[in-house]
Chains A and B, each alone.
Chain A
Amino acid sequence: MKSLISINDFNKEEMLQVLDLALEYEADTNRQLYTGKVIACIFFEPSTRTRLSFETAANRLGARVIGFSSLDATSVSKGESLKDTIKMVSNYSDMIVMRHPLDGAARYASEIAGCPVINAGDGTNQHPTQTLLDMYSIRKTQGSLDNLSITMVGDLKYGRTVHSLLQAMSHFKPRFRFVSCPELAIPKEYTDFLDARDIPYSQHNMLEGQIDDTDILYMTRIQQERFQDPMEYERVKNLMRLDVSMLTNTKPNLRILHPLPRVKEISTNVDDRPEAYYFEQARNGVYTRMGIITYLMNQM
């Protein structure tokens, strides 16, 4: 029995198997493979895209879905421990998809549950299904995952999708460019990770001038609460903002990704450009999550 808690739980071959399954599901989306199975989607904090795409994925595979998306109507609001909640839910279901505000909650749940657990986000730690859908989007738009120039922009310190994608893409000989203000720079443990693998990278303070030789531009949201000084937030936000005027000398295969929700880091005048891929990226979440469910069901 295998769970997916951290992107490091999957090796390169396993990631590619999931992406291949996702490709099959994109070609033929309605597959009643798991009629009679019950998948619990338990969300201890709000989510729109992740929860709906998991529920859609489970339904398209023929499974029934139980769960909750708010704590108000559960025993958690009465003080029930995570352990007791997981024990109970794993008695009712064949697989658990879980989001929780605390770091490490999904790993703990996977050690308690009697069924596979998929981490749909645990605090600031991991969001491995987002990483796999990002990889699916990259492979689909570039034809391959190998030897790509990837520019990551915004909150590189706290952004869990950035850290997981960096680790996952390290298997495919990438070149990284990190664009952020010093307060939100990529943490040292990740530059150490790249150094240990001889993966080239550079760091920059503004987005202007960093796009022209990029294959994948990975934008992230900068949260105002990360800054003590609101003026500093305004300054940084503008330096990291992507506008259509910056897309004049770019490579034809450039695609812009964003895990969403977007605030103002991508100007809406970019949305109609062929490079804008963030909405299609969100749609790929359903196929990728169908692939993940299938892969883990096959390991049982």
Chain B
Amino acid sequence: METKKKLKVSAINNGTVIDRIPAGQLFHVIEILGLAKGDFQMTFGTNLESKVLGLKSIIKISDKFFEEDDVNRIALVAPDAILNIIKNYQVVEKRPVVIPSEIFGLVRCLNPRCITNHEPVKTRFTTRMTPGGLVLKCHYCEKETGQKNLQIISNN
């Protein structure tokens, strides 16, 4: 309960609150969204209690609204994340992230013989949900990588 109070204190006027980020993925999300480079006000908390995730992280960014395609990129590391769009201190929209059908330049191909690991080629994957979880298929070498082995390579 105390956590909730603290978060309320730092409530933002206008902007985006990204909730339900797995605790260990906070800095990946910051990196994927390129938040470290911006000049907007941002606060974040980590290792907060969560009924859904056990421990979670949360990021609040003032006066920043994301394009859907941009924010869906974090679905790879934070598939349960929710975006709360804040206007005038009120949540006007709650939007879950959706795994994009194609992912560009975000993940490294695990195949050491893939051309993307030898030439300066922007990686490209198609995504597919299987009973075993998310699978990424490389557009170039056609090899598949499971969610557990994903390696994030860069921010935008």
Contact = CB atoms under 8 A, between A and B. Distances in A.
Interface size class of A (residues with CB under 8 A): 10 to 19
A153 B140 CA distance: 27
B115 A104 contact: yes
A102 B115 contact: yes
A107 B113 CA distance: 14
B142 A6 contact: yes
Q: Main secondary structure on chain B at its contact with chain A?
A: loop
A125 B141 contact: yes
Given A107-B115, A108-B121, A189-B144, 11 more contacts: A83-B120, A100-B115, A103-B111, A103-B113, A103-B114, A103-B115, A103-B141, A104-B141, A108-B116, A125-B141, A125-B142
B119 interface: yes
Interface string A119-150: 00011111000000000000000000000000
Nearest to A102: B115
Nearest to B109: A104
B118 interface: yes
Contacts of A104: 114-116, 138-142
A100 B115 CA distance: 10
B95 interface: no
A169 B21 CA distance: 45
Interface string A186-221: 000100000000000000000000000000000000
B105 to A, nearest CB: 14
Nearest to A8: B142
Contacts of B143: 103, 125
A6 B118 CA distance: 20
Nearest to B115: A104
Nearest to A83: B119
Q: Main secondary structure on chain A at its contact with chain B?
A: mixed
9 contacts: A83-B119, A100-B115, A103-B113, A103-B114, A104-B116, A104-B140, A104-B142, A107-B115, A107-B139
A246 interface: no
Contacts of B141: 103-104, 122-123, 125
Contacts of A107: 115, 139-140
Interface string B113-156: 11110111100000000000000001111111000000000000
B118 to A, nearest CB: 6
A107 B116 CA distance: 11
Contact of B118 (A102, A122, A124, A189): A102
Nearest to A187: B144
A82 interface: yes
B119 A103 contact: no
Contact of A108 (B111, B113, B140): B140
Interface centre among B113, B139, B142 (most CB of A within 10 A): B142
Interface in A278-294: none
A105 B142 CA distance: 11
